[in-house]
Amino acid sequence: MIAEPIIAILILIGAIISALSAFGLIRLPDVYLRSHAATKSATLGVLSVLTGGFLYFMFFEGLISAKMLLGIVFVFITAPVAGHLIERAAYMSGVPMWQKSIRDDLKLAIAEERKSKPQPEKSQA
Amino acid sequence: MMNSRDVVLQTTSQVTVFIIMTFSGFLFLAGHNNPGGGFIGGLMSAAALVLLALAYDLKTMRQALPVNFHYVTATGLLIAIFSGMGSFVFGAPFMSQAYDYFTLPLLGEVELATAMIFDLGVYLAVVGVTMTIILSIGEDR
């Protein structure tokens, strides 16, 4: 049956990608790069493991699990948003970037926003 | 803070709240024969409401669901008590449960049990208690 090696490869790839994401979490230098590793590759790893499980139950048990499909869609939607929120919170609370990073467009954007409407900022201070 | 309104979070939560609410209804209905039931269904719909309150604010969440959660808890407890007392009508002991098969339009043959009514009470009580706890903690500034 052709489905069995496909399922095995999907689950193996998912496990390898998750392991790579864990290595990235250890090796990368600052919060932003680590979050880059943690969100993208962990999402892809979980998605391919879940897809493998879904295909397994579909072909071998004859069960189309809508819960698993819902889980795939849900992880696909929410995991990048979680990464976005963590990085944004880290930037707003002033976590420094890596020394060798050279572009910081968000700093310019925040400065321009403060310049365009300075009243609420001053009243806060 | 530059702006506390995050468009990414708000748009995503608009989509995901529907998914969570649907899954909570599924868990509530599946509780008789599968993992699920009133308790985790209620917790999950409370989680969807908390997600709305996180993405927007408490005022928007109250506009989306304009009920007093104390009354939700009380309604759940009343439903649970009356579903237990309903067995007195048939001369059975307190909390006796029964089920039968009915043919509903559009759904076909469905097994309906009186334990479902008790579970609805549990669902409402869990939603009310959880939201009361979270709102009473979260509303103090």
How far apart are alpha carbons A118 and B11 in whole angstroms? 28
Tokens representing residue A114 in the block = 């403060």
pLDDT digit string (tens) for A14-49?
999 999 999 999 999 999 999 999 899 999 999 999
Tokens representing residue A45 in the block = 């790893």
pLDDT band at A120 (very low <50, low <70, confident <90, very high): low
Task: Report the pLDDT value the prediction gives residue A124, as an integer from 0 to 100.
Answer: 46
How far apart are alpha carbons B119 and B128 in whole angstroms? 14
Best of B1, B2, B21 to disrupt the A interface (most A CBs within 10 Å) is B2
ipTM of the complex: 0.75
Tokens representing residue A8 in the block = 């095995």
pLDDT digit string (tens) for B13-44?
999 999 999 999 999 988 888 888 899 999 99
Task: Report the pLDDT value the prediction gives residue A18, as an integer from 0 to 100.
Answer: 95
How far apart are alpha carbons B123 and B121 in whole angstroms? 5
Tokens representing residue B78 in the block = 């009343």
For residue A123, pLDDT over 60 is answered with no
Report which of B28, B76, B50 is spatially closest to residue B133, judged by C-alpha positions: B50
- Residue A78: how many CA atoms within 13 Å on its side-chain side? 15
How far apart are alpha carbons B25 and B21 in whole angstroms? 6
How far apart are alpha carbons A79 and B29 in whole angstroms? 28
CA distances from B138 to B53, B59, B131, B134 (A): 10, 12, 10, 6
Say if the Cβ atoms of A92 and B9 lie within 8 Å: no
For chains A and B, CB pairs below 8 A equal 26
pLDDT digit string (tens) for A45-98?
999 999 999 999 999 988 888 889 999 999 999 999 999 999 989 988 888 888
CB A21 within 8 A of CB A42: yes
Say if the Cβ atoms of B16 and A73 lie within 8 Å: no
Q: Checking DSSP bridges between strand B108-113 and strand B99-104, what pairing results, if any?
A: antiparallel
pLDDT band at B4 (very low <50, low <70, confident <90, very high): low
Nearest to A81 among B8, B19, B23 (CB): B8
pLDDT band at A122 (very low <50, low <70, confident <90, very high): very low
Burial string for A41-56 (b: 16+ CB within 10 Å, else e) reads bbbbbbbbbbbbbbbb
